[in-house]
Amino acid sequence: MRLSGKRPIHAAALVLSVVAVGTLAVAAPASARAPESATLVVTGDPDDPITEGEGVAFSTASGGGFDVWGTANHLTVQVFDPPAGPWKIELSAPVGQPLAVGTYTGATGNTYESPLPGIDLSGADRICSFGQTGSFTVTDISWGPHGYLERFDATFEQRCNYSTGSARGEVHVENPPAPPVLAVGVDVAGSGTIDTGTGEVTVHGTVTCSAPATVYVEGAVHQTWHGQRAEGIVRAEAACTPGAPVAWTSSTPTFTSVPFRRGAVTVSANALSYDTTYDVFVSDADTAVVRLKKG
Protein backbone atom coordinates (compact mmCIF):
# COMPACT_ATOMS: atom_id res chain seq x y z
CA MET A 1 0.00 0.00 0.00
CA ARG A 2 1.34 3.43 -0.91
CA LEU A 3 0.04 6.84 -0.03
CA SER A 4 -0.13 9.42 -2.78
CA GLY A 5 1.88 12.25 -1.28
CA LYS A 6 4.01 13.76 -4.05
CA ARG A 7 4.29 17.53 -4.12
CA PRO A 8 6.95 19.51 -6.00
CA ILE A 9 8.15 22.63 -4.23
CA HIS A 10 10.32 25.52 -5.32
CA ALA A 11 11.64 26.85 -2.03
CA ALA A 12 13.31 30.21 -2.14
CA ALA A 13 12.84 32.28 -5.25
CA LEU A 14 15.19 35.06 -5.46
CA VAL A 15 14.25 38.55 -6.48
CA LEU A 16 14.11 39.21 -10.24
CA SER A 17 17.44 40.52 -11.51
CA VAL A 18 17.88 43.43 -13.84
CA VAL A 19 20.41 45.75 -15.43
CA ALA A 20 22.55 47.87 -13.17
CA VAL A 21 24.62 51.02 -13.25
CA GLY A 22 26.58 52.23 -10.23
CA THR A 23 24.86 54.14 -7.47
CA LEU A 24 25.79 56.37 -4.61
CA ALA A 25 27.04 54.42 -1.61
CA VAL A 26 24.51 51.65 -2.22
CA ALA A 27 25.93 48.21 -2.88
CA ALA A 28 24.25 45.90 -5.34
CA PRO A 29 21.99 43.41 -3.55
CA ALA A 30 22.84 39.74 -3.27
CA SER A 31 20.40 39.03 -6.12
CA ALA A 32 22.35 41.22 -8.57
CA ARG A 33 23.79 39.48 -11.61
CA ALA A 34 26.53 40.54 -13.98
CA PRO A 35 25.17 40.48 -17.55
CA GLU A 36 27.11 38.93 -20.39
CA SER A 37 26.72 42.05 -22.53
CA ALA A 38 25.55 45.54 -21.56
CA THR A 39 25.88 49.19 -22.55
CA LEU A 40 24.81 52.47 -20.96
CA VAL A 41 25.08 55.76 -22.85
CA VAL A 42 24.09 59.09 -21.27
CA THR A 43 24.20 62.64 -22.63
CA GLY A 44 22.80 65.86 -21.21
CA ASP A 45 22.23 69.58 -21.45
CA PRO A 46 24.64 72.03 -19.77
CA ASP A 47 22.10 72.80 -17.03
CA ASP A 48 21.49 69.13 -16.21
CA PRO A 49 22.93 68.43 -12.70
CA ILE A 50 23.66 64.77 -13.47
CA THR A 51 25.69 65.06 -16.69
CA GLU A 52 26.66 68.75 -16.45
CA GLY A 53 26.50 68.78 -20.22
CA GLU A 54 28.99 65.94 -20.67
CA GLY A 55 28.36 62.55 -22.21
CA VAL A 56 29.43 59.15 -20.87
CA ALA A 57 29.38 55.70 -22.44
CA PHE A 58 29.98 52.36 -20.73
CA SER A 59 29.99 48.83 -22.06
CA THR A 60 31.03 45.38 -20.98
CA ALA A 61 33.03 45.19 -24.22
CA SER A 62 35.24 48.06 -23.02
CA GLY A 63 35.62 46.67 -19.51
CA GLY A 64 32.69 48.32 -17.72
CA GLY A 65 31.51 46.37 -14.69
CA PHE A 66 27.73 46.00 -14.79
CA ASP A 67 25.22 44.61 -12.29
CA VAL A 68 21.52 44.02 -12.90
CA TRP A 69 18.68 43.41 -10.45
CA GLY A 70 15.04 44.19 -9.75
CA THR A 71 11.57 42.72 -10.04
CA ALA A 72 9.05 42.22 -12.83
CA ASN A 73 7.88 45.78 -12.07
CA HIS A 74 11.22 47.49 -11.47
CA LEU A 75 14.70 47.25 -13.03
CA THR A 76 18.03 48.65 -11.92
CA VAL A 77 21.12 48.82 -14.11
CA GLN A 78 24.34 49.78 -12.40
CA VAL A 79 27.82 50.21 -13.83
CA PHE A 80 31.11 50.73 -12.02
CA ASP A 81 33.83 52.66 -13.82
CA PRO A 82 36.40 54.08 -11.38
CA PRO A 83 37.52 57.10 -13.48
CA ALA A 84 33.94 58.25 -14.07
CA GLY A 85 32.41 57.03 -10.81
CA PRO A 86 29.35 54.79 -10.45
CA TRP A 87 26.30 55.32 -12.66
CA LYS A 88 22.84 53.91 -12.14
CA ILE A 89 19.49 53.94 -13.92
CA GLU A 90 16.27 52.67 -12.32
CA LEU A 91 13.06 52.28 -14.30
CA SER A 92 9.72 51.08 -12.97
CA ALA A 93 6.15 50.59 -14.15
CA PRO A 94 3.19 51.77 -12.05
CA VAL A 95 2.62 49.59 -8.99
CA GLY A 96 0.93 46.29 -9.79
CA GLN A 97 2.02 46.34 -13.44
CA PRO A 98 4.92 44.50 -15.07
CA LEU A 99 7.56 46.50 -16.88
CA ALA A 100 6.75 45.83 -20.54
CA VAL A 101 7.46 47.05 -24.04
CA GLY A 102 5.98 50.52 -24.45
CA THR A 103 6.40 54.20 -23.63
CA TYR A 104 6.02 55.45 -20.06
CA THR A 105 5.38 59.17 -19.57
CA GLY A 106 4.88 61.20 -16.42
CA ALA A 107 7.56 59.26 -14.55
CA THR A 108 8.68 60.54 -11.14
CA GLY A 109 11.60 59.82 -8.86
CA ASN A 110 9.54 57.37 -6.80
CA THR A 111 10.52 54.01 -8.32
CA TYR A 112 8.81 51.80 -5.71
CA GLU A 113 5.10 51.23 -5.01
CA SER A 114 4.01 54.29 -6.97
CA PRO A 115 0.87 54.65 -9.11
CA LEU A 116 3.08 56.46 -11.66
CA PRO A 117 6.07 55.17 -13.62
CA GLY A 118 9.44 55.75 -11.97
CA ILE A 119 12.81 56.94 -13.21
CA ASP A 120 16.03 57.59 -11.32
CA LEU A 121 19.31 58.35 -13.10
CA SER A 122 22.36 59.18 -11.01
CA GLY A 123 26.05 59.23 -11.76
CA ALA A 124 29.47 60.26 -10.49
CA ASP A 125 27.95 61.00 -7.07
CA ARG A 126 25.46 63.45 -8.60
CA ILE A 127 21.70 63.17 -8.00
CA CYS A 128 18.56 65.22 -8.46
CA SER A 129 18.44 66.83 -5.02
CA PHE A 130 14.83 68.01 -5.35
CA GLY A 131 13.35 65.10 -7.25
CA GLN A 132 12.85 64.57 -10.95
CA THR A 133 10.42 63.78 -13.76
CA GLY A 134 10.89 62.00 -17.03
CA SER A 135 9.84 59.39 -19.53
CA PHE A 136 11.23 56.20 -21.00
CA THR A 137 10.51 53.69 -23.73
CA VAL A 138 11.14 49.97 -23.35
CA THR A 139 11.74 48.46 -26.80
CA ASP A 140 12.60 44.91 -25.70
CA ILE A 141 12.39 42.93 -22.47
CA SER A 142 12.49 39.17 -21.95
CA TRP A 143 12.59 37.22 -18.70
CA GLY A 144 13.60 33.68 -17.87
CA PRO A 145 12.81 31.95 -14.56
CA HIS A 146 13.69 33.38 -11.15
CA GLY A 147 14.47 36.88 -12.37
CA TYR A 148 16.87 35.83 -15.10
CA LEU A 149 16.91 38.75 -17.53
CA GLU A 150 17.56 37.60 -21.09
CA ARG A 151 17.20 40.97 -22.86
CA PHE A 152 16.43 44.56 -22.00
CA ASP A 153 16.55 47.65 -24.23
CA ALA A 154 15.27 51.09 -23.29
CA THR A 155 15.74 54.80 -23.96
CA PHE A 156 15.05 57.44 -21.32
CA GLU A 157 14.96 61.15 -20.53
CA GLN A 158 15.09 62.72 -17.07
CA ARG A 159 14.88 66.31 -15.86
CA CYS A 160 15.77 67.26 -12.31
CA ASN A 161 13.23 69.55 -10.67
CA TYR A 162 14.19 73.26 -10.84
CA SER A 163 16.57 72.53 -13.73
CA THR A 164 16.24 73.79 -17.30
CA GLY A 165 18.26 70.93 -18.79
CA SER A 166 17.66 67.21 -19.20
CA ALA A 167 19.68 64.01 -19.33
CA ARG A 168 19.02 61.43 -22.03
CA GLY A 169 20.30 57.95 -22.60
CA GLU A 170 19.86 54.36 -23.59
CA VAL A 171 20.56 51.07 -21.89
CA HIS A 172 20.96 47.62 -23.39
CA VAL A 173 21.43 44.25 -21.68
CA GLU A 174 21.77 40.81 -23.22
CA ASN A 175 22.31 37.38 -21.68
CA PRO A 176 22.26 33.85 -23.10
CA PRO A 177 18.88 32.07 -23.13
CA ALA A 178 17.88 31.01 -19.63
CA PRO A 179 19.04 27.48 -18.74
CA PRO A 180 16.52 25.05 -17.25
CA VAL A 181 15.89 25.24 -13.51
CA LEU A 182 17.26 22.30 -11.52
CA ALA A 183 14.54 19.75 -10.77
CA VAL A 184 14.79 17.04 -8.11
CA GLY A 185 12.51 14.17 -7.18
CA VAL A 186 12.30 11.74 -4.27
CA ASP A 187 10.61 8.38 -3.80
CA VAL A 188 10.20 6.25 -0.67
CA ALA A 189 10.38 2.48 -1.22
CA GLY A 190 7.49 0.43 0.12
CA SER A 191 9.69 -1.98 2.10
CA GLY A 192 12.13 -1.55 4.98
CA THR A 193 13.77 -3.49 7.77
CA ILE A 194 13.85 -3.50 11.55
CA ASP A 195 16.63 -4.79 13.77
CA THR A 196 14.64 -6.65 16.42
CA GLY A 197 17.59 -6.49 18.80
CA THR A 198 18.09 -2.71 18.77
CA GLY A 199 14.72 -1.62 17.40
CA GLU A 200 16.47 0.41 14.72
CA VAL A 201 14.48 0.94 11.52
CA THR A 202 16.07 1.23 8.07
CA VAL A 203 14.16 2.75 5.16
CA HIS A 204 15.29 3.59 1.67
CA GLY A 205 14.30 5.11 -1.64
CA THR A 206 15.66 7.01 -4.62
CA VAL A 207 16.25 10.57 -5.78
CA THR A 208 16.38 11.97 -9.29
CA CYS A 209 17.76 15.21 -10.70
CA SER A 210 17.89 17.07 -14.00
CA ALA A 211 21.55 18.07 -13.49
CA PRO A 212 24.36 16.86 -11.21
CA ALA A 213 23.56 17.92 -7.65
CA THR A 214 23.90 16.97 -4.01
CA VAL A 215 20.43 16.08 -2.76
CA TYR A 216 19.65 16.06 0.96
CA VAL A 217 16.81 13.84 2.15
CA GLU A 218 15.16 14.54 5.51
CA GLY A 219 11.90 13.43 7.01
CA ALA A 220 10.20 11.27 9.61
CA VAL A 221 9.17 7.70 10.42
CA HIS A 222 6.23 7.03 12.70
CA GLN A 223 4.21 4.04 13.82
CA THR A 224 1.15 3.89 16.07
CA TRP A 225 0.65 0.72 18.14
CA HIS A 226 -2.41 0.45 20.39
CA GLY A 227 -2.63 4.23 20.64
CA GLN A 228 1.08 4.69 21.37
CA ARG A 229 3.40 6.34 18.87
CA ALA A 230 6.99 5.52 17.95
CA GLU A 231 8.85 8.23 16.04
CA GLY A 232 12.18 8.42 14.22
CA ILE A 233 13.90 10.58 11.63
CA VAL A 234 14.97 10.21 8.01
CA ARG A 235 18.31 11.73 7.08
CA ALA A 236 20.40 10.93 4.02
CA GLU A 237 22.58 12.53 1.36
CA ALA A 238 22.91 11.46 -2.27
CA ALA A 239 25.32 12.52 -5.02
CA CYS A 240 22.73 12.66 -7.78
CA THR A 241 23.46 12.52 -11.50
CA PRO A 242 20.78 12.72 -14.19
CA GLY A 243 19.71 9.72 -16.20
CA ALA A 244 18.77 7.18 -13.53
CA PRO A 245 17.45 7.14 -9.94
CA VAL A 246 20.11 7.29 -7.21
CA ALA A 247 19.57 5.28 -4.03
CA TRP A 248 19.43 6.68 -0.50
CA THR A 249 19.19 4.82 2.83
CA SER A 250 18.44 6.03 6.34
CA SER A 251 18.42 4.25 9.71
CA THR A 252 16.84 5.52 12.91
CA PRO A 253 15.97 4.37 16.43
CA THR A 254 12.76 5.49 18.08
CA PHE A 255 12.94 8.82 19.84
CA THR A 256 9.99 8.12 22.10
CA SER A 257 9.48 5.56 24.86
CA VAL A 258 7.54 3.42 22.38
CA PRO A 259 9.67 0.96 20.35
CA PHE A 260 9.21 0.27 16.65
CA ARG A 261 7.74 -3.11 15.73
CA ARG A 262 7.50 -5.14 12.57
CA GLY A 263 4.62 -4.10 10.36
CA ALA A 264 3.57 -0.85 8.74
CA VAL A 265 5.20 2.52 9.38
CA THR A 266 4.55 5.83 7.66
CA VAL A 267 7.61 7.47 6.12
CA SER A 268 7.72 11.06 4.86
CA ALA A 269 10.77 12.28 2.96
CA ASN A 270 11.69 15.73 1.70
CA ALA A 271 14.47 16.15 -0.87
CA LEU A 272 16.27 19.49 -1.01
CA SER A 273 18.98 20.78 -3.33
CA TYR A 274 20.40 24.13 -4.46
CA ASP A 275 20.33 25.54 -7.98
CA THR A 276 23.59 27.48 -8.30
CA THR A 277 22.52 29.11 -11.57
CA TYR A 278 19.46 30.83 -10.11
CA ASP A 279 20.50 30.87 -6.43
CA VAL A 280 17.33 29.10 -5.33
CA PHE A 281 16.51 25.96 -3.37
CA VAL A 282 14.43 23.30 -5.11
CA SER A 283 12.71 20.40 -3.44
CA ASP A 284 10.29 17.51 -3.69
CA ALA A 285 8.42 15.37 -1.16
CA ASP A 286 6.98 11.88 -0.91
CA THR A 287 5.05 9.96 1.74
CA ALA A 288 4.57 6.19 1.77
CA VAL A 289 3.38 3.36 3.99
CA VAL A 290 6.40 1.08 4.42
CA ARG A 291 6.29 -2.57 5.51
CA LEU A 292 9.05 -3.44 7.98
CA LYS A 293 10.54 -6.90 7.94
CA LYS A 294 13.16 -8.35 10.24
CA GLY A 295 16.59 -7.19 9.07
Q: 278-288 pLDDT, tens per residue?
A: 999 999 999 99
- 153 vs 182: CA distance, rounded Å: 28
Under CATH, what is the fold of the domain 181-294?
A: Immunoglobulin-like (2.60.40)
- What pLDDT does residue 32 have? 79
| Cα separation, 206 vs 203, whole angstroms | 11
CA distance 5 to 287: 5
Specify the pLDDT at position 229. Answer: 97
Helix, strand, coil in percent for the chain, rounding step 5: 0, 55, 45
pLDDT of residue 30 exceeding 60, the answer is no
Q: From the CB of residue 14, how many other CB atoms can be counted at a distance below 10 Å? A: 18
Predicted local distance difference test score (pLDDT) of residue 47: 96
Look at residue 24 and tell me whether its pLDDT is greater than 90.
Answer: no
Considering the chain, what is the average pLDDT of its residues?
A: 90
What would the pLDDT profile of 50-104 be if each residue is shown by its tens digit? 999 999 999 999 988 999 998 899 999 999 876 777 999 999 999 999 999 999 9
Summarize the confidence of residues 107-114 as an average pLDDT. 94
What are 138's strand-pairing partners? 102, 154
* Segments making up each domain of the chain, as ranges: 37-174, 181-294
Please say whether the beta carbons of 223 and 229 come within 8 A.
yes
C-alpha distances out from residue 214 to 44, 217, 220, Å:
52, 10, 20
The per-residue pLDDT for 7 is 36
The pLDDT assigned to 153 comes to 99
pTM for the whole structure: 0.73
Q: What is the pLDDT of residue 100?
A: 98
Residue type (1 letter), 184: V
